Homo-oligomer: A and B are copies of this chain.
Amino acid sequence: MTGSKTQAMAVSTESSDSRRPVPDKRVGILAAALRVFSERGVNGVAVPEIASAAGVATGTIYRYFESKEALVNELYRQEKAALHEYLYGGLDRDREPRAVFDEVWDRMVRYARERPEVYRFIELQDHQSYLDEESLALQRRMLLPMVNRVKAMQGRGVYRKDVRDRVLIAMGWGAFVNLLKVEREGLLTLRRKDLLAARELCWQLYTGECPG
């Protein structure tokens, strides 16, 4: 973990010594839970449904997780961390601000396309009552690097200073996430052009630059 190859390390650790063609029941359960939770909410899904979505018996869930609540928390933390890693992992923060911004935005879009359930799940409101202190702490911890990045950019005169860092972040994130939500609800189909325009918009929102 000392070097720069975080991702590579992770991969080699993963594949370790024995061929693991079956990605472990625990993983399958979490994946299935993510799928059904993102569709119908945490409270809207019964444990046996998670089990059958995962192709295991109900009881098996309880061999891997103490309770539904524990499963929800674990899933939340895993997906939150994975998203964070996907967005910021191996990011070269020394490049041009705009390039870094575009890279992160593109990763956000790519992730939304690859694993749309993740955003749905993370933005769910109805798991709030399930989340334990550790999950809430993670939530806050994950925010910090973003805040620091924005602060730094403001300090360097790249991002606008007339709006507080957290306000900028909240609005930028909300704009992006709601775009996905609206598309998911079928009110809008996002084409390549739209996404580029939205990226541009967001950049202007952060920096205060004008179009054109």
Contacts and interface: CB of A to CB of B under 8 A. Distances in A.
Interface residues of A, number: 51
Interface string A140-164: 1001000000000000000010111
A100 to B, nearest CB: 21
A177 B171 CA distance: 8
A162 to B, nearest CB: 6
A124 interface: yes
A198 B178 contact: no
Given A167-B179, A174-B181, A178-B170, A211 B41 contact: no
Interface of A: 40-44, 120, 123-126, 128-129, 139-140, 143, 160, 162-164, 166-168, 170-179, 181-182, 185, 187-188, 190, 194, 197-198, 200-202, 204-205, 208-212
Given A162-B197, A162-B200, A204-B208, 7 more contacts: A42-B43, A163-B198, A164-B197, A166-B182, A171-B176, A171-B201, A174-B179
27 contacts: A40-B126, A40-B129, A41-B125, A42-B43, A42-B126, A43-B43, A44-B126, A120-B125, A125-B125, A125-B126, A139-B185, A143-B187, A162-B211, A163-B198, A164-B194, A166-B187, A167-B190, A170-B175, A171-B176, A171-B198, A172-B175, A174-B174, A174-B182, A175-B175, A204-B205, A208-B212, A209-B210
